Amino acid sequence: MEYSFLNDLPKVVWMIIGIAGFLAVIGLMLVVIDIPRTRRDRWQAALFLAPALILLIGGVVYPVLRTTMLSFYDRSGTEFVGLTNYLWMFQRPEILLVLRNTLLWVVFAPVLATAVGLLYAILIDRSRFESIAKSLVFMPMAISLVGASIIWRFVFAYRPADQEQYGLFNQIVVWLGGEPQLWLLDQPLNTFLLILVLIWVQAGFAMVVMSAAIKAIPSEIVEAARIDGAGAWQLFTRITLPSVWPTLLVVLVTITVQTLKVFDIVRTMTGGNYGTSVIANEMYSQAFQQGQVGQGSALAVFLFALVIPLVILQIRRTRKARELA
Amino acid sequence: MTPTTTPPAQAPARTGKPDGGAAARVRRRLSGTSAGLVAIVIAVVWTVPTAGLLVSSFRPAEQIRTTGWWTFFGSPEVTLDNYRDVLFGTSSDGQLATHFVNSFVITLPATVFVLVIAALAAYALSWIDFRGRDWIFLGIFALQIVPLQMSLVPLLSFFSQGVAIGETQILPAWELSGAMAFTNVWVAHTIFGLPLGIFLLHNFISQLPHTLFEAARVDGAGHGTIFLRIVLPLITPALVSLGIFQFLWVWNDLLVALIFTGGDNATAPLTVRLAELAGTRGEAWHRLTAGAFVSMVVPLVVFLLLQRYFVRGLLAGSVKG
């Protein structure tokens, strides 16, 4: 069937009704709230907070409790099974592979993305093309991870050796005299190629934040070090690095949290096949494709448990970074 | 490209010493050329994959299938057929025009709802006195750390089965069909955007000057009037930053849409449909290249026009998940 916008019109109408209705209700609330002449702060606060609290209690607080409970129940959530789902997680080889992959992601993606971001920020600092150079590397942050994954799948695309390659990576391999490969099927190399996509996306974030930190270093300090005869490497290790260290850690932890939850890249690049699945992908697959709600919930709880210490660390770091700023 | 970067970064005082940044010195001492070379290599690696996809999307399907996009510059041949097919062709071609509309229908309300609800809550938590205020704020702050994976199963069952304690149904299932089915995704995205939204706006609203509110109070203005007439206009920059974030986040999201639209073509946004096309038609590159760009064009426009606000929000610590 050919596309016709008329079929989509009801959606747009419903969207307008949704937004207009919502704004009308809130607007009315704000007018009504001022009608009583006496001040009743408690009630007014309750009205201001009600939409947020209802949504957060119903959509986050209760679900956290419920998911935790479900992780101790069987696939349909009716029979209590104790720690079975957690034992399953640490005993099944295919799930151990998932955990190992997640570990690989966490070990490599944040450090490399931050390193590239910092290096690039230093290299382009105060150069003539700084803003354009920044935009180029930052751009992948704006597009979806699905889009980024398609970009990189095209780079790794494979044609048999007797045909002309259209994937850039295999073409380079051929130019260098090698054989084209199905890179994304090659374990465990394929996990590293997926990690590369996240590095490509997150380096821009690291670069922007690190660049701001670098510019905050007072030039008097640099001047003084230079008069004392400090070389480039000494400037970097004695001045730049210590100055941006708190920010660097914040960036590192932020990317680590994002990495733990990585889903879109794995989904779009390999669908979690060929030994590339990670926790978030496995959670989706168990809970929503295989109907294993108990096992899916256990994976979600495990993910949550991994994130908590990082966030506590993050809050401390942020506070320290603010104090230093 | 818009020449905008981090606000404090622009135009450092260039009086006296020509430049004095530690990084600049490090760069220069690394001998200008090799440093420049590394920077160029990084910039190229970060740009070429996207450029290759963009170039390919305008090449005839037959050529995409047989030759590399780098041969395009030898014999340029440009066509819009890929875009026409993937946007307006049959549903097996993708028919991304429908999904483009879906993406908007999902993203705009999910952004407006978060901005308004978060601003209301942030105002109450900043300027209305009541007992337990700090505890509520701390609680909402803490919710930022919860991965949304923890919410998915219960929230989906709430939409599809309602709430029941034992045998008694307390709330019925949301049996929304047709265009109304979008409501589930709106609610889900609004929930996931709120903790960060409230936190960011609270940072901003709580720093407005005290005297402003006292003066309005003396004039007899209530909280509703103060919020509408005084607070909203003053926090516009913060609303823009948060709005861009929420917009891009929802537009680019795959997981939430996958679960709360159920992968139904009538409601699925671009990301869901593209991931599906990549899975089932992994080698149909004339569709995938054009399709990927259809999904990127809106975020790129937002990014290029509003990069300044985007970066400001980023530096304020807004990365969610």
| Residue B29: per-residue pLDDT | 55
Question: Residue B278: its chain A contacts at CB < 8 A?
Answer: 146, 149-150, 153, 268
Can you give the CATH number for the domain in which A139 is found? Answer: 1.10.3720.10
Note whether A51 and B117 are within 8 A (CB). yes
Cβ-based neighbours of B146, under 8 Å, separated by 6 or more: A60, A64, A304, B195
Domain span at A266? 87-324
Instruction: Give me the residue from A60, A132, A200 closest to B143, CB to CB.
Output: A60
Q: Which of A70, A98, A124 finishes a domain? A: A70
pLDDT digits 0-9 by tens, B52-107: 999 999 999 888 888 889 988 888 888 999 999 889 988 777 789 999 999 999 99
Contact A45 B128 (CB under 8 A): yes
Last residue of a domain, one of B17, B52, B79: B79
Asked whether residue B41 is domain-assigned, the answer is yes
Query: A125 and B23 in contact (C-beta within 8 Å)?
Result: yes
CB contact (8 A) between residue A63 and residue B154: yes
Mark whether A123 and A17 lie in a shared domain: no
Q: Domain for residue B4, yes or no? A: no
Write the CB contacts of B136 (distance below 8 Å, at least 6 apart in sequence): A49, A53, B125
Instruction: Grade residue A41 by pLDDT with cuts at 50, 70 and 90.
Output: confident
Res B318 pLDDT > 60 = no
- Percent of the residues in chain A that have a pLDDT greater than 70, as a whole number: 96
- Residue-level pLDDT at B313: 72
Angstrom distance (rounded) from CA A296 to CA A317: 32
Q: What is the pLDDT of residues B177-229, one digit of tens each?
A: 777 889 999 999 999 999 999 999 998 899 899 888 888 888 888 899 999 99
Q: Which among B55, B79, B103 is the end of a domain?
A: B79
A11/B102 touch (CB, cutoff 8 Å), yes or no? yes
Q: How far is A25 from chain B (nearest CA, A)?
A: 11
More confident call, B123 vs B308: B123
Choose among B46, B130, B271: nearest Cβ to A144: B271
Looking at residue B153, its pLDDT comes to 94
pLDDT band (50, 70, 90) for residue B16: very low
Residues B204, B104 share a domain: yes
Nearest-Cα residue of chain A relative to residue B162 = A58
Q: Is B321 among the domain residues?
A: no
CA distance B174 to chain A (A): 15
Are B296 and A143 in contact by the 8 Å Cβ rule? The answer is yes
Task: Provide the residue type at A203 as one letter.
Answer: A
Residues A28 and A161 in one domain: no
**Residues B165 and B41 placed together within one structural domain of the fold:** no
Residue A80 lies in a domain: no
Does residue A262 lie in a domain region?
yes
Instruction: Residue B250: give its domain's CATH number.
Output: 1.10.3720.10
pLDDT in tens, B238-293: 999 899 999 999 999 999 999 998 778 889 999 999 999 988 766 789 899 999 99
Q: B75: how many CB neighbours lie within 10 A of its CB?
A: 8
Distance from CA of B3 to the nearest CA of A (A): 6
Distance CA B304, CA A143 (A): 12
How far, in Å, are A25, A182, B110, B185, B236 from residue A20 at the CA level?
A: 9, 51, 13, 17, 20
Number of domains in chain B: 2
Say yes or no: B281 and B148 in one domain.
yes
Of A32, A59, A140, the CB nearest to B151: A59
- For residue A19, being part of any structural domain is answered with yes
Q: Does B290 contact A at CB distance below 8 Å?
A: no
Are the Cβ atoms of B223 and A48 closer than 8 angstroms?
A: yes
- Structural domain boundaries enclosing B65: 32-79
Whether B115 maps to a domain, the answer reads yes
Same domain, B207 and B228: yes
B62 domain-assigned: yes
Q: What is the pLDDT of residue A100?
A: 96
> Under a CB-based contact definition with an 8 Å cutoff, are residues A168 and B70 in contact?
yes
Measured in whole angstroms, how far is the alpha carbon of residue B74 from the centre of its chain?
A: 38
**Which residues in A lie closer than 8 A to residue B147 (C-beta atoms)?**
260-261, 280, 300, 303-304, 307
Q: Is the pLDDT of residue B3 over 70?
A: no
**A25, A116, A150, A222: which to substitute to probe chain B, counting the most B Cβ within 10 Å?**
A150
Indicate whether B55 and B194 sit together in one domain: no
Confidence class for position B24, pLDDT limits 50, 70, 90: low
Residues A63, A123, single domain; the answer is no
Interface list for B 182-201 with A (CB within 8 A): 182-183, 186-188, 190-192, 194-195, 198
Percent of chain A with pLDDT over 90: 64
Question: Could you write out the DSSP letters of every residue in B10-24?
Answer: SS---SSSS---HHH
- Nearest CA of chain A to the CA of B69: how many Å? 7
- Chain B residues inside the 8 Å CB shell of A239: 22
Which chain B residues in 84-123 lie under 8 Å from chain A, judged by CB atoms? 87-91, 95, 97-98, 101-102, 104-105, 108-109, 112-113, 116-118, 120-121, 123
Domain for residue B214, yes or no? Answer: yes
Among A110, A17, A253, A291, which residue's Cα sits nearest to residue B183? Answer: A17
Same domain, B74 and B85: no
Tell me if residue A163 falls in helix, strand or coil.
Answer: coil
What distance in Å separates residue B153's CA from the closest CA in chain A?
7
Model confidence band, residue B5 (pLDDT cutoffs 50, 70, 90): very low
Output the pTM of the full model.
0.89
Q: Please indicate whether, in this complex, the C-beta atoms of B150 and A64 are within 8 angstroms of each other.
A: yes
A222 pLDDT band, cuts 50/70/90, is confident
Q: How many domains does chain A have?
A: 2
Q: How far is B33 from chain A (nearest CA, A)?
A: 11
pLDDT digits (tens, 9 = 90+) for A94-134: 999 999 999 999 999 999 999 999 999 998 888 888 889 99
Q: What is the pLDDT of residues A162-211, one digit of tens each?
A: 888 999 999 999 999 989 989 999 888 999 999 999 999 999 999 999 99
Q: What is the pLDDT of residue B30?
A: 54
Considering the domain boundaries, does residue B13 fall inside one?
no
